[in-house]
Chain A
Amino acid sequence: MLLNMGPSHPAMHGTIRVMVEVDGERILNSEVEVGYLHRGFEKICENRTYFNLLPYTDRLNYVSPLINNLAYVMTMEKMLGLEVPERAQLIRVIMSELSRISDHLTCLAAMAMECGAFTVFLYKIKAREFIWDVIEQTTGARMTTSYIRIGGVRADLHPDYENGLKTAIVETRKVLKDVHGLLDKNKIFLNRTRNIAVVSPEMAINYGWTGPCLRSTGVYYDVRKAHPYSMYDRFDFEVPLGERGDNFDRYMVRMKEMEQSLRIIEQVLRILPSSSSQSLMAEGIEPAEAIKASRKKRVDKHIRLSPNLDGSEKERLKNILAPKHTPPPKEDTYTTIEGLIRHFKFFMREHGIRPPKGEIYFSVEGGNGELGFYIVSNGTDKPYRIHLRAPCFHVVSAMEEMIKGHYIADIIPTFGSLNMIGGELDR
C-alpha cells in the first residue's frame, strides 16, 4: 500500500514529502521528495553585490542564522586576505555558539514534541527566548540579524550584555538538567529511539555526513578542531561522540554539545576585555554643525551620532571592523572628503568589494555539520557563482535507506533527529 506523508505535515521542521510503500505497518520502500522550499538562493545571489547578499545568507539555516553569516563572511575574508580584529573574532565566537545552542534546542524540542513530550518543547523554547533576548540586545533582531559583516561585526556588544548572557547561561543549564531528567531514562522515549535507524560509520562517511549525525556514529570530525577558524584553537572544549548511531545517540550528542558550547561561552567571557566606551557620547556637537564646520577646517571634536549609527564611531570601529573593504566610521564620512570618497566607493555599484579572480571553498561548523561556501569570482562586484554545501542535504539523502524495515511511527523520531532545515536543504 502506498502512503503519502505530504508536504504540509505537523512536524515543524520544514516541507518534505515522504512516499512510503507499506505492508501492514512495516516500510518496504520509500521515496523522499524535496524542493518545496527552493527559493533560488544561488541564482539570486548572482545578481547582487557581495555586500548586498548578506541578508540572503541569514535565511538559509534559519535556526542558527549567525553561523551562516559567519561562513559566508569568512569565505570572503579569506578571498580578500582581510585580517579581522581580535575583539571581533571573540564576539563572533559568542554569537556563533549562541546560535548553535539555539539550533540544537529547536531541533530537540521539535523531535520531543513529535514523540509526545510536549513539556520538553515548552521548556526548550523558553530557554531559547533568553538566548534570543541576548542576541537582540546586541544586534537588534531576534533571528535574521545580518550582524556579522565582512571585516568584523556590525556593532560592538551592548554595554549591559554580561547580565543578559549570564541569565541565559543559567536558564539554559536549568532547562538542560530538567530535560535530562525527563527524557534520558524515560521508557517510552527509549523505546521509540533506541536501536531505530542505526547508521554505521562506513555508511555515514559514504553518504558524506558531517556534524552531530556523523559524531553519533563514532567518527571524530569537527571542523572547529580539524581546521580551526576564528580563535577556536584557544578554547578548551570536548567533542562528544556516540556509539551506535541510532536516534537516541543523535539526541544525546546534541544535548552534550550544548553543554560544551556553554563552556566555550564562559571561557570567552573571561578573556574578553571590558567594553571601552559608552554607547552614546553625551557631549559633542551635532552632525549638521560638524558638517558645516568641516568645510573650513578639519573637525577635531566628538560628534554626537544618532542611536541608529551606534557602533560606527571611530573609537570603537577599529575594534570591530578591519580597515580595508569596509565602510568608514561615520565621523569621517560626514566631515572629511576622504571618508566620503571611501563611503561612496564602498556602496556604489561597479565599485565596492571586488575580490581577485578565482574560486575558493571554505567551511565552518554549522549546527548540522560542515557548512561550506564555494564562491567563484570574475573580478567584478557581483559573484559569478555561489554554491552552498548544505550539511543536511547529505544527511537527508540517506533517509530512504535508514527507514527501510521499520514501522511508520519510526519515521517521526528519525526525521526529527536528523534536523532537516528546509532553507538549507533546498537553498
Chain B
Amino acid sequence: MEKEKILEEVKAKFGEKIKDVISQFGAESIIIEKDALHEIVSFLKNKSFSFTMLLDLTCVDWKGDEERFEMVYHLFSLSHNLRLRIKARLHERDPHILSLTPFWKNANWLEREVYDMFGIYFDGHPDLRRLFMYDGFEGHPLRKDYPLRKRQPRIPMRK
C-alpha cells in the first residue's frame, strides 16, 4: 500500500481532527489534535495498514510559542516497510496527553523518559516515575529554560 493511499484514507476518516500533512526530505508527518491520538493510532495499527511497531516517541520544546510542547511519534510498518510521523501540540499550562501503553509496551519506558526530561504527564500510564535522573532531582533538564551547567549534586562534594 502506498503512502499516499494511507494518508488519503486517514484524511478521509478523521478529516476534522487532522490539522496538517507535511512532506519534507522524503518523509511524511501528520499533525493532529492531541485528543484524537488513540483513535488514529488504533486505526493505523489495524490489520490492513499494520503499523505494528512504535519506533520512537519524543518531544520538542518550542519555547516562546503558545503551544509549547510538540509530541512526536514515529510508527513503522514491517510488512509494508513504511514509516510515518505523527505530531501533536500541547499547551504549556496543560501538558497532559493520552498514554500509548495500551498499544505498545515500549511506550512505558519512552514516556517515562519524556516525563523525566520535559515534565509532560501521560494519562493512563501505569507507573510514571523518573527514569534517567535520580529521585529528588528538581526540574526537567531538556526544557529550554533549564541551564546546561546547573549543578545539582546528590552528595556533598569535597574541596
Contacts and interface: CB of A to CB of B under 8 A. Distances in A.
Interface string A24-66: 0000000000110010101110010000000000000000000
Interface in B46-82: 52-56, 58, 60-61, 72, 74, 78, 81
B74 A397 contact: no
A149 interface: no
Interface residues of A, number: 37
Contact of A34 (B24, B117, B132): B132
The size bracket of the interface on B is 35 or more
Given A34-B131, A359-B24, A394-B106, A384 B85 contact: no
Interface in A333-383: 358-361, 363, 370, 372, 374, 376
Contact of B60 (A363, A385, A394, A397): A385
A363 B85 CA distance: 14
B106 A389 contact: no
A38 B27 contact: no
B119 interface: no
A397 B109 contact: yes
B1 interface: no
Contacts, number: 85
Given A43-B148, A78-B26, A205-B53, 20 more contacts: A35-B130, A35-B132, A35-B133, A38-B132, A43-B141, A43-B142, A206-B52, A207-B106, A208-B54, A219-B78, A360-B24, A360-B27, A361-B85, A372-B74, A374-B74, A384-B60, A387-B58, A389-B56, A397-B105, A401-B105
21 contacts: A38-B133, A43-B141, A79-B25, A206-B104, A206-B105, A208-B53, A208-B55, A226-B81, A359-B72, A360-B27, A361-B83, A361-B85, A372-B56, A374-B58, A376-B60, A387-B56, A393-B110, A394-B109, A397-B105, A397-B106, A397-B108
Interface of A: 34-35, 38, 40, 42-44, 47, 78-79, 205-208, 219, 221, 226-227, 358-361, 363, 370, 372, 374, 376, 384-385, 387, 389, 393-394, 397-398, 401, 426
